[in-house]
Structure 1
Amino acid sequence: MTEEKTIYILDTNILLHEPFAFLSFQEHDVIVPMTVLEELDSIKDRHKDVSRDARVAIRALEDALANATPEEVLAGVPLPKREDASKTGTLSIFNDYTLEQKAGKLSFNDNDNRIINTALHIQAEKKNKKVVLVTKDINMRLKAKGAGLKHVEDYRTDQLIDDIQFLTKGYHKFSGDFWQQVKDCESESEGRNTTHYISKGVLPNAYINEYLLDEGEHFAGKVVGWDDSRLAIADISRERLMAKQAWGIHPKNIYQGMAMDALLDPTIDLVILTGPAGCGKTLLALASALELVVERGLYDKVIVTRSTPEIAESIGFLPGTEEEKMAPWLAAITDSLEVLHKQDENMNGSMNYIMDKANIQFKSVNFMRGRSIQNAFVLLDECQNLTASQLKTIITRCGEGTKLVCSGNLAQIDSNYLTALTSGLTYIVERFKDFPGSTTVNLNGVVRSRLASFAEENL
């Protein structure tokens, strides 16, 4: 008879992706092979963006096993009991170096093979239990199944959606005319602002600050509240969205109009912009930043930062100040500044003047940790390459009077440890969709050039 408890064997990439992953398996038993500890040890001293995660994982494992004897570590140490759990699992280290090379087993020359052999050994030893190898390495999952391991899984605890197509876009598009689908409506007007109260049945899964559009291209609204039976919709009209303006930039399509509406709204603390390359994420964010800092004086400075793979070791070897070191990676920002000032008589002079006037600061993501940012417009570019925990570190730096814009393209992930589903960008889109101080907009459509548009659709 199969027992209730499952044995989970963790690969190294699980602990690099989520250092406290071993605490996520509820009442089940977790085994960490010795080879995983060896790999964490070799990674922790490298100048990589994952070295910190390796050190955190090692410290977390040490804390969990600190008071255990060697015999208890091999047998299994009870994990901390969660408030909502009736049972608790155990954590143990398996010394896979004691396994012998046998016929039919994978070669011990490769670390992945050693971990798979550990799982096969435990599967043979614990026939009455379900033994699962957990890894984010697709090839390793295929090899494990080919070697005879019955259960192999990806780590999905941090995945809030099962398919990227279900990711919140920030707007809902009604088929046909919006008003033909509304039977009962009460409206209130205050100045030029009109709020409609409609039945919640029209859009049962609405969330706060979600934009509403219709195919007839007549109506544009935004969800601003609800109760058990009704939705409150602010009528913002397409004309007003398309008439938005920031630093001389006007929206080229309705998606840019919605993005600019959110970017220029001082009541919105977090704006998340997603979409393909060339849809205008960076340009709109920078134009809005200059508008709000220089023209309206709502913020004191603009802080620009971005995720860059292996930025930790790369930045140190470049000459100059932090801003000068960051310049190669922030060329997208300077490109956008050039676009905003290309009509000026002296473009370089204008750019230097504006960078000084708006107090634009280029910062490395590495140096954001531990800061408290007040009264600033923060632009975090390329955040599809950040994990959920890295994004949390940055978002929690934002103090009073700070607006944060997170932008990224989930089709261009450079990290070896992230997918579109596990990216921190996906995570915050889903986590913040019900937060009144945030807005998400998926900028659907490439406006950079017809060449870029064709490439995005056909390559």
Structure 2
Amino acid sequence: MTVNKIIYVLDTNILLHEPFAFLSFKEHDVVVPMTVLEELDSIKDRNKDVSRDARVAIRALEDTLVNASPEQVLSGVKLPQNDELHPSGCLSIFNDYALDESKVKLSFNENDNRIISTAIYLQAQNPKNKVVLVTKDINMRLKAKGAGLAFVEDYRTDQLIDDIQFLTKGYHQFTGDFWQHVKECESETQGRNTTHYIKRDLLPNSYINEYLIDEGEHFAGKITGGDDEKLSIVDLSRERLMAKQAWGIHPKNIYQGMAMDALLDPTIDLVILTGPAGCGKTLLALATALEQVIERGLYDKIIVTRSTPEIAESIGFLPGTEEEKMAPWLAAITDSLEVLHKQDENMNGSLDYIMDKANIQFKSVNFMRGRSIQNALVLLDECQNLTASQLKTIITRCGEGTKIVCSGNLAQIDSNYLTAVTSGLTYIVERFKDFPGSSNINLNGVVRSRLASFAEENL
């Protein structure tokens, strides 16, 4: 064992979160306790999304160790090398069942304790090396520290930000009047559109398709391009943003106005809506979808999908077709449809007509893999519960002429394996922030009711 090498002991949840995580530790050594393999084995046959990740992790480990002898598996097998300049470390399986129970500090009855004991044993056997237990389980990190393990870490390779407060909002709000901050500006007008060219120094950390607003409630613009020196900004004006209309719905605040501008823009292929419960994410997405499918004829159909919570991931026990089974999980969509048509003389008749006219299809995320979706508007709701790989699977299904709207509330994550900073929703917000075909809006403010607004602020 090289003195400078770090020994990383992986917990099961790391391999469930990212099955190829053991390849991410560069020149350092990775140890997978036998208990982790047993936990993966028990999870791989469950009827849950994580069972697929468990199978992928097992297969990846087997591919790495396939030609190794039992002695090599215990001592360490060289991991694939990325390049000649950066040598890789070794992967080994540690038989934690061979530990002397009388010499460990924790009860051997729990799997977590066995994994912690493995790290403590390796720490004692390799005093010149740093031994790190890597786990996403906060309580396990506390237990490991209490048991005497010096180094415990979360897995952060997939985290693009350290704190959710640093997540880009999709807009910049200036104090006072916007023009007070601008020292030099060139403008040109074509038809009804005016483009301003300002120095990038005013907004050094800005990206294409981000919006600009001010507290003076006069200016509203959108970044359409730029270089290292200048930014081009289209002057939208607040009046035009607040006058947006889709299926009888008007924006209630400037944040909804920016969202509707992005949702109705045919040049934008991906719209990401984040924000608290009751800020209008689902209603705006549905209203603009109906407007573009039925009134404007830009798309042939609306496909609505969402992740089913872990407490009920299996939809097989519900009666009916796939769409009928998905109906309970997509009640937010049908609720929004009722809001849009509550003034109609025969609301149920209107809903049936619209469902048929817009060709609204309810699909399960579980069955999206392998599809190719053409000329459709896809509404992906509650995607804070999806991992980055799951969201990639869905977004890569979108073919020519398809627009996808991803919405979610990072404060309401149901998955045991995700946090706000590791959610797939956070991941795509950061990954797509400088993509010309995407727009991200954080809908600040609850408009559902004063009760919902008070609850969001005070509970």
TM-score normalised per structure 2: 0.99
Counterparts in 2 of 1:397-408, with a 5 A limit?
A: 397-408=397-408
In 1, the alpha carbon distance for the partners of 2:392 and 2:312 equals: 19
Gaps of 5+ in 1: none
Decide whether the 8 Å contact of 1:19 with 1:60 is kept in 2: yes
Q: CA deviation at 1:19?
A: 0.5
In 2, the alpha carbon distance for the partners of 1:234 and 1:4 equals: 54
1:223 maps to which residue?
223
Q: CA deviation at 1:86?
A: 1.9
1:260 and 2:260 equivalent? yes
In 1, the alpha carbon distance for the partners of 2:77 and 2:157 equals: 22
2:128 maps to which residue?
128
Letter in 2 for 1:21: A
In 1, the alpha carbon distance for the partners of 2:152 and 2:189 equals: 58
Decide whether the 8 Å contact of 2:221 with 2:236 is kept in 1: yes
1:356 maps to which residue?
356
Residues 42-67 of structure 1: CA distance to partner in whole angstroms, max 9, x if unpaired?
00001122111111111111111111
Letter in 2 for 1:359: N
Query: In the comparison of the two structures, how many residue pairs are matched?
Result: 459
Q: CA deviation at 1:183?
A: 1.1
* Partner-residue secondary structure (3-state), 1:213: strand
* Partner-residue secondary structure (3-state), 1:315: coil
Counterparts in 2 of 1:97-176, with a 5 A limit?
A: 97-103=97-103, 105-176=105-176
1:288 maps to which residue?
288
In 2, the alpha carbon distance for the partners of 1:305 and 1:372 equals: 15
1:336 maps to which residue?
336
Residues 231-275 of structure 1: CA distance to partner in whole angstroms, max 9, x if unpaired?
100100110100000000000000000000000000000000000
Distance 1:453 1:17, change over 3 A: same
1:455 maps to which residue?
455
Single out whichever of 431-440 and 302-311 deviates more from structure 2: 302-311
1:41 maps to which residue?
41
Residues 286-305 of structure 1: CA distance to partner in whole angstroms, max 9, x if unpaired?
00000000000000000000
2:435 maps to which residue?
435
Decide whether the 8 Å contact of 1:160 with 1:427 is kept in 2: yes
1:369 maps to which residue?
369
Letter in 1 for 2:257: G
Q: CA deviation at 1:83?
A: 3.2
In 2, the alpha carbon distance for the partners of 1:85 and 1:23 equals: 16
Decide whether the 8 Å contact of 2:79 with 2:90 is kept in 1: yes
Percent of residue pairs identical: 84
In 1, the alpha carbon distance for the partners of 2:415 and 2:434 equals: 28
In 2, the alpha carbon distance for the partners of 1:366 and 1:244 equals: 35
Residues 302-354 of structure 1: CA distance to partner in whole angstroms, max 9, x if unpaired?
00000112377530111100000000000000000000000100000000000
1:30 and 2:30 equivalent? yes
In 1, the alpha carbon distance for the partners of 2:371 and 2:324 equals: 20
* Partner-residue secondary structure (3-state), 1:288: helix
Decide whether the 8 Å contact of 1:209 with 1:438 is kept in 2: yes
In 2, the alpha carbon distance for the partners of 1:337 and 1:75 equals: 61
Letter in 2 for 1:100: D
* Partner-residue secondary structure (3-state), 1:47: coil
Decide whether the 8 Å contact of 2:278 with 2:446 is kept in 1: yes
* Partner-residue secondary structure (3-state), 2:406: strand
In 2, the alpha carbon distance for the partners of 1:135 and 1:228 equals: 41
* Partner-residue secondary structure (3-state), 1:304: strand
1:56 and 2:95 equivalent? no
In 2, the alpha carbon distance for the partners of 1:353 and 1:99 equals: 67
In 2, the alpha carbon distance for the partners of 1:86 and 1:458 equals: 51
1:279 maps to which residue?
279
Q: Aligned-residue CA RMSD in angstroms?
A: 1.2
2:14 maps to which residue?
14
* Partner-residue secondary structure (3-state), 1:156: coil
Residues 391-428 of structure 1: CA distance to partner in whole angstroms, max 9, x if unpaired?
00001000010000000000000000000000000000
* Partner-residue secondary structure (3-state), 2:265: coil
1:314 maps to which residue?
314
Distance 1:336 1:90, change over 3 A: same
Letter in 2 for 1:309: P
In 2, the alpha carbon distance for the partners of 1:363 and 1:103 equals: 54
1:87 and 2:87 equivalent? yes
Residues 422-456 of structure 1: CA distance to partner in whole angstroms, max 9, x if unpaired?
00000000000000000000000000000000000
In 2, the alpha carbon distance for the partners of 1:81 and 1:118 equals: 26
Decide whether the 8 Å contact of 1:276 with 1:456 is kept in 2: yes
In 1, the alpha carbon distance for the partners of 2:454 and 2:45 equals: 44
Distance 1:85 1:45, change over 3 A: farther
Letter in 2 for 1:235: D
